[in-house]
Amino acid sequence: MKILLDTQALIWSLNDSDKLTKTARTFIQEADTVYVSPINFYEIAIKTALGRDPGIKWPIHDIIQEALLSDFIWLPLSANHIEAYTQLPFYENHRDPFDRIILATALADDLTIVSSDHNFPLYTDLVTTIW
Query: Does residue 74 sit in helix, strand or coil?
Result: strand
d(CA 22, CA 72): 19
As to burial, measured by CB atoms within 10 angstroms (0-12 exposed, 13-18 middle, 19+ buried), residue 2 is: middle
Domain residue spans of the chain: 2-122
What's the whole-model pTM score? Answer: 0.94
User: Average pLDDT, whole number, for the chain?
Assistant: 96
Domain 2-122 CATH assignment equals 3.40.50.300? no
Q: Quick one: pLDDT at residue 39?
A: 97
pLDDT at 55 over 90: no
Whether the CB-CB separation of 100 and 77 falls below 8 Å is answered with: no
pLDDT at 111 over 90: yes
Give percent above pLDDT 70 in the chain: 100
pLDDT at 53 over 90: no
pLDDT in tens, 8-26: 999 999 999 999 999 999 9
